[in-house]
Chain A
Amino acid sequence: MPDDLATRTRSGPGRLLIAVYAIFAVSATARSAVQLTTHLGRAPLAYLLSALAAVVYIVATVCLARGDLASRRIATISILVELAGVLGVGTWSLVDPAAFPDATVWSDYGQGYGYIPAVLPLLGLWWLRSTSAARRQADAG
């Protein structure tokens, strides 16, 4: 059994979680890079939110993969931002579709990506929580 925090964070289900975060980091980054460089004027709000999503996914991927105490804190914050983003942008895009002439990763709660963007932050928070609980248990025992 892996016993240090960083190894535990990136092992087992964490390995999969980081892989999925990496996929979203790459796709959101590529998407927003294309949008921002080729046609920013078409839907500036949507594209800036896409870029924000890209940054959040990159930070979460890197910090989860590093897995030390400080990285886990940063990962927690970025995942909370991600959760707020997918809920906020998801709701906003449904209430006021005119504000989003083009979709972001978080539009309609991530419908274009099989709703994975809505589920991913919950899984991320759960994983951070369960690995730190395991640490407390190991320390006590």
Chain B
Amino acid sequence: MATIGGMIEVLAAVLTYVALAAAVWSAVLVVVNKPIELREWHGLWLYGLVILLELGLLGQLVAGIVKLSTEDRAIETATFVGYLVTTVLVPPVAGFWALLERTRWGPVVMVVGCLTIPVLIIRLRQLWDGHA
């Protein structure tokens, strides 16, 4: 299943960049002192990125489970799936929580939420490679 493995590697890299881009964009909103505002282009673009990220993470969840079931690896399945599911939960929860805030602390929440994604992806990689 080299193709699925290769696909997941590319996906993980792309998701890391998308998450970092969303984090940087949120940080810009923090610096210019704006809340997340979906009626403004800057808020819409940010949430477009976050939705893109979420779709990719859902893809990663499916691909990861397929990979688990097709390859025989001595890894902690429950932990691996736990991380996959957590990645999928972070963007919607952070997005919701950030949107409730009407000050610059909203995008701060998005920065933190987006930065957890690369961390989780690194942990997934470590688990898969077996030096967890």
Contacts and interface: CB of A to CB of B under 8 A. Distances in A.
Contact of A13 (B83, B105, B112): B105
Contact of A15 (B89, B101, B116): B101
Contacts of B83: 30
Given A22-B93, A26-B86, A27-B86, A15 B79 contact: no
Secondary structure of the B contact surface, majority rule: helix
A11 B104 CA distance: 10
B49 to A, nearest CB: 18
B50 to A, nearest CB: 14
Interface string A15-26: 110111011001
Contacts of B79: 31, 34
A85 B105 CA distance: 29
Counting from the closest, the 8 A-B pairs by CB-CB distance are A30-B82, A15-B101, A19-B109, A34-B78, A15-B105, A12-B105, A16-B108, A34-B79
Interface of B: 76, 78-79, 82-83, 86, 89-90, 93-94, 97-98, 100-101, 103, 105-106, 108-109, 112-113, 116
Interface of A: 11-13, 15-16, 18-20, 22-23, 26-27, 30-31, 33-34, 37-38
Given A11-B103, A34-B82, 16 more contacts: A13-B105, A15-B98, A15-B101, A15-B106, A16-B105, A16-B109, A19-B94, A19-B98, A19-B113, A22-B93, A23-B116, A26-B86, A27-B86, A30-B82, A33-B82, A38-B78
12 contacts: A11-B103, A11-B105, A13-B105, A15-B100, A15-B109, A19-B97, A19-B112, A26-B86, A27-B86, A34-B76, A34-B78, A34-B82
